[in-house]
Structure 1
Amino acid sequence: MQSQHASNRIAAYSTPVILSGLLLGLVVLVALFGDKALARTAAETLVRVVLVVSLWIFVGNSGVISFGHAGYMAIGAYCSAWLTLKPQSKALFLPDLPDWLMQAQWPVFPAAIAGGVLAAFIALVSGAAILRLSGIAASIATFAFLAIVNTVYSNWEGVTGATSSVVGLPRYVDQWVALGWAVAAILAANLYANSASGLALRATREDEVAARASGIDMYRHRLLSLVISGFFTGVSGALLGHSIGVLNPDSFYLGITFISLAMLVVGGIGSLSGAVMGVLLLSLLIELLVRAEQGVAIGATHFAIPSGSQEILIGIAMILVLIVRPNGLTAGKEFKLKPQWLRQSRMYGAKSTN
């Protein structure tokens, strides 16, 4: 019995190894056979993995759809910009920053951590109010939070540059840096999902009344998951800013909100594997459609789909996937080693020893 329990735990913790190996394989293939454009696409995809896995930590475990995570992303992105931009650039674009922040010029890694910590703190403060609600009311409250963040950052001219783009961020995020953070987010998500808090939170997702009757403090577990989710979402914002070198509040509003939720739903909101696969598959589809809009030359003929078709075709693809697989492509199942495989490998190991 103990051996079976140990095998089940090992199988559960094999999920991040499998997902990380998949991402590593993709990055190695791009490094060996891809060009600079494909390397940039790989980096953007891995940043999306960090974002969607962060979103899954809260949404996948609690069952509460959040429209506000792009707000945490903006908070992390601008915090990293405040800490890494050169003082001359801050004086030009962000003249109202405090003197200590105006002169600060941190290394990029601590700045990304600081962006995540600030986003986690804001998640704690906002979640303390929002998570007293449940269901659709909580989801609407998260959208209100996103609107507040976007309005503040779009009008705080001396601190965020308002609607003008902040340029000059160090562009250090390549596919390897993004891969490191994607693996870290996957490991953290898996650890939380298999922790006592994660298991309790999923119990509230399945049956809120029964969970309350069992003494589970739903509010506390939801708030903890939101704080962890907010940290990695803030880091994903920092990574996005430092991958393109430019920040604008509109980059963290409705567009990225809906595409991240689409990736989560298409892959399968019930599993970490679904979150990662949704990012990979939709990112591949987006890249193919972008290239199709640019056009493909076949002989003397140039073929191209109409401009703006990308959003329409992605919407159609989402509808088709959800009709065929209502629970997403992975149907809520994880990629993991089966317990019987682990027991067989132990038996073979014991026989070879004897």
Structure 2
Amino acid sequence: MQSQHTSNRIAAYSTPVVLAVLLLGFVVLVALFGDKALARTMAETLVRVVLVVSLWIFVGNSGVINFGHAGYMAIGAYCSAWLTLKPQSKALFLPDLPDWLMQAQWPVFPAAIAGGLLAAFIALLSGAAILRLSGIAASIATFAFLAIVNTVYSNWEGVTGATSSVVGLPRYVNQWVALGWAVAAIFAANLYANSASGLALRATREDEVAARASGIDMYRHRLLSLVISGFFTGVSGALLGHSIGVLNPDSFYLGITFISLAMLVVGGIGSLSGAVMGVLLLSLLIELLVRAEQGMAIGTTHFALPSGSQEILIGMAMILVLIVRPNGVTAGKEFKLKPQWLRQSRLDSAKSTN
């Protein structure tokens, strides 16, 4: 029995290893055979992995749909920008920053950590109020939070640049940097999912009444998962800003909210593997549709999709997946390795007992 339990735990903790190797394989292939454009696409895909995995930490374990994660992205992105932009650029674009922040010029890694920590702190404050609600009421409250963040950042001209784009961010995020953060987010998500808090939170997802009756503090576990999720979401915002070098509040609003939820649902909201696979599949589809909208030659015929087809076809793909596989492409299952040596050990133990 003890050997079986150990084997199951090792199999559970093998999931992030499998996913990390999968992502590493894609990155190596792009590095060997791809061009600069494909490398940038790979980096953007891995940033999406950080975002969707962080979304899964809360949504996948709690069962509460959160529309506010793009707000935490904006908080992390602008925090990193405040810390890394040159003082001359901040004086030009963000003249109302306090003096200590105006003169700050941090290295990019500590700035990303700071962006994640600020987003986690805001997640703690917002979650303390929002997570007292349940079901659809909590989901609507998260959307209200997103609207508040977008309104503040779109009008706080001297601090965020309002609707004008903030440019000049150091563009240090390549596919290797994004891979490192994606792997870190995957391991953190798996660690939390297999912790006592993660298991308790999934119990509330399956049966809230029974979980309460068993003495599980649903509010505390949901708040903890939201704070962890908020940290990696804030980091994903910082990575996105330093990937394209430009920030605008509308980059962290409805568009990215829709696509991140679509990736999570298509892959399978019930598993970490589903979150990663959803990003890979929809990112591939997005890239193909973008190229189709730009136009491509098929033989002697030039073919181009009408503008806006990308959003329509992604929505149709999402509906199709929900009809054919309601639990997503992975059907809520994780990618795991079965430790052969433990299996053989159990067989040898059974033979010796007999």
TM-score by length of 2: 0.97
Instruction: Please give the residue correspondences for 1:113-262 in structure 2 after superposition, counting only pairs within 5 Å.
Output: 113-262=113-262
Q: What is the deviation of 1:19?
A: 0.3
Alpha-carbon distance in structure 1 between the residues aligned to 2:352 and 2:30: 40
For residue 302 of structure 1, give the secondary structure of its aligned residue in structure 2.
strand
Residues 218 and 295 from structure 1, CA distance in 2 versus in 1: closer, same or farther, beyond 3 angstroms?
A: same
Q: What is the deviation of 1:305?
A: 1.4
Deviations 1:42-95 (A, max 9, x none): 000000000000000000000000000000000000000000000000000000
Bigger CA drift: 167-176 or 329-338? 329-338
Alpha-carbon distance in structure 1 between the residues aligned to 2:299 and 2:218: 62
Alpha-carbon distance in structure 2 between the residues aligned to 1:20 and 1:353: 39
CA contact (8 A) 2:3 2:342 kept: no
Residues 316 and 195 from structure 1, CA distance in 2 versus in 1: closer, same or farther, beyond 3 angstroms?
A: same
Q: What is the deviation of 1:344?
A: 3.0
Alpha-carbon distance in structure 2 between the residues aligned to 1:307 and 1:203: 44
Q: What is the deviation of 1:296?
A: 1.2
Deviations 1:141-196 (A, max 9, x none): 00000000000000000000000000000000000000000000000000000000
2:35 is aligned to 35
Alpha-carbon distance in structure 2 between the residues aligned to 1:28 and 1:143: 38
Q: What is the deviation of 1:299?
A: 4.2
- Percent identical pairs in the alignment equals 95
Deviations 1:199-254 (A, max 9, x none): 00000000000000000000000000000000000000000000000000000000
Q: What is the deviation of 1:300?
A: 3.7
Q: What is the deviation of 1:301?
A: 2.4
Q: What is the deviation of 1:308?
A: 1.2
CA contact (8 A) 1:4 1:339 kept: no
Superposed CA RMSD in Å reads 2.3
For residue 216 of structure 2, give the secondary structure of its aligned residue in structure 1.
coil
Alpha-carbon distance in structure 1 between the residues aligned to 2:198 and 2:57: 9
Which consecutive unaligned segments of at least 5 residues does structure 1 have? Answer: none
Residues 67 and 353 from structure 1, CA distance in 2 versus in 1: closer, same or farther, beyond 3 angstroms?
A: same
Bigger CA drift: 183-192 or 328-337? 328-337
Instruction: Please give the residue correspondences for 1:71-150 in structure 2 after superposition, counting only pairs within 5 Å.
Output: 71-150=71-150
Residues 169 and 215 from structure 1, CA distance in 2 versus in 1: closer, same or farther, beyond 3 angstroms?
A: same
Bigger CA drift: 342-351 or 284-293? 342-351
Residues 17 and 353 from structure 1, CA distance in 2 versus in 1: closer, same or farther, beyond 3 angstroms?
A: farther
Residues 299 and 334 from structure 1, CA distance in 2 versus in 1: closer, same or farther, beyond 3 angstroms?
A: closer
Q: What is the deviation of 1:303?
A: 1.2
CA contact (8 A) 2:3 2:346 kept: no
Residues 93 and 223 from structure 1, CA distance in 2 versus in 1: closer, same or farther, beyond 3 angstroms?
A: same
Residues 113 and 349 from structure 1, CA distance in 2 versus in 1: closer, same or farther, beyond 3 angstroms?
A: farther
CA contact (8 A) 1:77 1:115 kept: yes
CA contact (8 A) 1:43 1:173 kept: yes
Number of residues paired by the alignment? Answer: 354
Q: What is the deviation of 1:347?
A: 6.3
Deviations 1:130-149 (A, max 9, x none): 00000000000000000000
CA contact (8 A) 2:273 2:334 kept: yes
CA contact (8 A) 1:8 1:339 kept: no
Alpha-carbon distance in structure 1 between the residues aligned to 2:348 and 2:283: 41
2:305 is aligned to 305
2:3 is aligned to 3
Alpha-carbon distance in structure 2 between the residues aligned to 1:235 and 1:350: 49
Residues 341 and 209 from structure 1, CA distance in 2 versus in 1: closer, same or farther, beyond 3 angstroms?
A: farther
Alpha-carbon distance in structure 2 between the residues aligned to 1:344 and 1:150: 56
Alpha-carbon distance in structure 2 between the residues aligned to 1:212 and 1:49: 33
Deviations 1:289-344 (A, max 9, x none): 01111111234421111111111111111111111000111111101123677413
Residues 341 and 259 from structure 1, CA distance in 2 versus in 1: closer, same or farther, beyond 3 angstroms?
A: farther
CA contact (8 A) 1:93 1:166 kept: yes
